[in-house]
Amino acid sequence: MAISEQKYHELEELAAKIRLDTLCSIKKMGQGHLGGSFSIVELLAVLYGKQLRINPQDPQWADRDRLVLSKGHAGAALYSALANTGYFDRSWLWTINEGGTRLPSHPDRWKTPGVDATTGSLGQGTSMAAGIATGLRLAGKDNFVYLIVGDGELNEGQCWEAFQYIAHFKLNHCIVIIDDNKKQLDGPTKDILDPFDIQQKMTAFGFYTEKVPGADMQAIDEAIERCKAIEDQAVCIVLDSVKGQGVPFFEELDANHSVKFTTDEINQAAEAAIKELTIKIEGGR
């Protein structure tokens, strides 16, 4: 089902807000995981703007859907999504990773409203999501669990153990979403440890698998709807995304996994992007 024009406009505005606040919060820190945060902005906009069954006024609502950000280094994007959907005041975003903050650099479910799983040690979120989905099934619940995994994270064997478990038990309410932005800490994924065709690998593991453009919110939403309709098979969406997605300068920046705001060029590019995103948000109102 196509997203209505009004809803798509709302999602575009939410994506711009998430990208803007992610950039501003990381810039204030002086450095941070900008590339992998930007590559899931459109996904987060679709999830928090349309797909997730949540209640920001009651973060522990028993009937909520769960989200596990296994690639926990993209926490800044998750925090921006949570702040812009009412889980906490946006002023918290300017305290990320500071002493006493409720927003550590990687998500912590004991500190931040709306965070369902403490993540950051790569690979472990896959097992957490599998466990959460199993528990919900045993309790007779119909909640969905959305698992966001990085392509570089697939270097971890634990991911494939969890995927095999999810596929074997046909945990169709655990929607695996792989952010295939093609770069990791040390360089392109194909040079570090070639993942080959991730869609084919997940299909071979027993998943119903789709690959969609990571910046296309309509395609992401439609893929999620199709996955939610699958009843007898594990499901996976591969996002064909770009590291630093949404801002050409950061897309093309070689060292865009963790960006340091220490040069005039980077700071000027950030200020230009902040201005452009602000205009886009204000112009859409």
- Residues 94-111 as b or e (16 or more Cβ within 10 Å = b): ebbbeeeeebbbbbbeee
pLDDT band at 285 (very low <50, low <70, confident <90, very high): low
C-alpha 183/C-alpha 165 separation (Å) is: 27
Residue corresponding to tokens 């993540």? 119
Residue 283: Cβ-neighbour burial (10 angstroms; 0-12, 13-18, 19+):
exposed
Question: What integer is the mean pLDDT of 235-254?
Answer: 98
- Is it the case that residue 247 has pLDDT exceeding 70? yes
Write the CA distances from 80 to 18, 161, 213, integer angstroms.
Answer: 5, 31, 22
- Is it the case that residue 78 has pLDDT exceeding 70? yes
pLDDT in tens, 97-109: 999 999 999 999 9
Task: Give 195-261 as a DSSP string.
Answer: ---HHHHHHHTTEEEEEEETT-HHHHHHHHHHHHH--SSEEEEEEE--TTTT-HHHHH-TT-SSEE-
C-alpha 110/C-alpha 102 separation (Å) is: 9
Dihedral sign of CA atoms 185, 186, 190, 192 in order: negative
CA angle 77, 189, 228 (to 5 degrees): 55
Name the percent of the chain lying above pLDDT 70. 99
Using an 8 Å Cβ cutoff, are 143 and 53 in contact?
yes
SS3 78: helix
Rounded to the nearest integer, the mean pLDDT of the chain is: 97
pLDDT band at 2 (very low <50, low <70, confident <90, very high): confident
Task: Tell me 59's DSSP state.
Answer: T
C-alpha 66/C-alpha 114 separation (Å) is: 9
Query: Among residues 247, 241, 243, which one has the least CA distance to residue 268?
Result: 247
pLDDT in tens, 118-158: 999 999 999 999 999 999 999 999 999 999 999 999 999 99
Write the CA distances from 165 to 129, 168, 170, 225, 252, integer angstroms.
Answer: 11, 5, 8, 23, 37
pLDDT in tens, 186-232: 999 999 999 999 999 999 999 999 999 999 999 999 999 999 999 99
According to the model, what pLDDT value does residue 159 have?
Answer: 98
According to the model, what pLDDT value does residue 100 have?
Answer: 93
According to the model, what pLDDT value does residue 199 have?
Answer: 98
- For the domain spanning 3-282, the CATH number is 3.40.50.970
- Is it the case that residue 1 has pLDDT exceeding 70? no
pLDDT in tens, 30-59: 999 999 999 999 999 999 999 999 999 999
According to the model, what pLDDT value does residue 283 have?
Answer: 81
C-alpha 121/C-alpha 264 separation (Å) is: 33
Using an 8 Å Cβ cutoff, are 197 and 168 in contact?
no
Query: Among residues 201, 160, 181, which one has the least CA distance to residue 245?
Result: 181
